[in-house]
Chains A and B, each alone.
Chain A
Amino acid sequence: LAKTTQPISMDSYEGQEVNITCSHNNIATNDYITWYQQFPSQGPRFIIQGYKTKVTNEVASLFIPADRKSSTLSLPRVSLSDTAVYYCLVGDYKLSFGAGTTVTVRA
């Protein structure tokens, strides 16, 4: 099962771009990479999912290099409301969500 490593925390300011990198060295051929966002005392919310190269939606972008051993979630122009925990999942849900990255956006 692919294990993920991501930073425990990151600080940013409003209007900046936040990039969170997740390492997953033993990702399997059929594994997708999925990111979730969680606010305190709320359930996680799906942000974006990808398999390779780049995926973009209205909320974020996901960059995946050719070797797929890492991925980077990019949040453009963050606001205070983007302060949350961000989880990187590789493969399926049975791996559980890990500790995630706590992103704190300051004014």
Chain B
Amino acid sequence: DSGVTQTPKHLITATGQRVTLRCSPRSGDLSVYWYQQSLDQGLQFLIHYYNGEERAKGNILERFSAQQFPDLHSELNLSSLELGDSALYFCASSVATVSPGDEQYFGPGTRLTVT
């Protein structure tokens, strides 16, 4: 158990809908990262928040957005869902801002299925 929690574990929804994925980092960790893992794309970095502020963006679509709240939990919002958004979404946390190679602790993931 990494100490990172994600809810829900599974989510099935229809195209065009909007969903919110939630992540609680390990106690004391200020950084939260979101990743998407699909069969054909591997594990792709989406976005990084540190202590409530966005720090870096990766291959995140404009239909997706995220935020980190004062209690440090984070939410990833996915809207206008398409079939291709079906994937495993992981949240990870680390102690501080990522200097090259900071160890990240990953949550169990949320499996999103868009039908």
A76-97 with Cβ < 8 A to chain B: 87, 89, 91-97
Chain A: minimal CB distance from B103 (Å):
5
| Contact status A93-B88, CB under 8 Å | no
Decide yes or no: A42 and B108 within 8 Å by CB, A30-B100, A34-B101 being known contacts.
yes
B39-60 with Cβ < 8 A to chain A: 42-45, 48, 56, 58-59
B101 interface neighbour in A38, A41, A44, A92, Cβ under 8 Å: A92
| Contact status A46-B104, CB under 8 Å | yes
| Contact status B100-A87, CB under 8 Å | no
Docked complex Cα distance between A44 and B101 (Å): 14
What is the 8 Å Cβ interface bit string for chain B, positions 51-77, against chain A (1 contact, 0 not)? 000001011000000000000000000
A-B contact count (CB 8 A): 69
Chain B: minimal CB distance from A64 (Å):
13
Interface size on B, residues (CB 8 A): 28
Interface size on A, residues (CB 8 A): 25
Decide yes or no: A97 and B43 within 8 Å by CB, A30-B100, A43-B92 being known contacts.
yes
Docked complex Cα distance between A91 and B42 (Å): 18
Docked complex Cα distance between A31 and B109 (Å): 28
| Contact status A93-B33, CB under 8 Å | yes
- Taking Cβ atoms with an 8 Å cutoff, the residues of B that contact A are 2, 4, 33, 35, 42-45, 48, 56, 58-59, 88, 90, 92, 98-109, 111
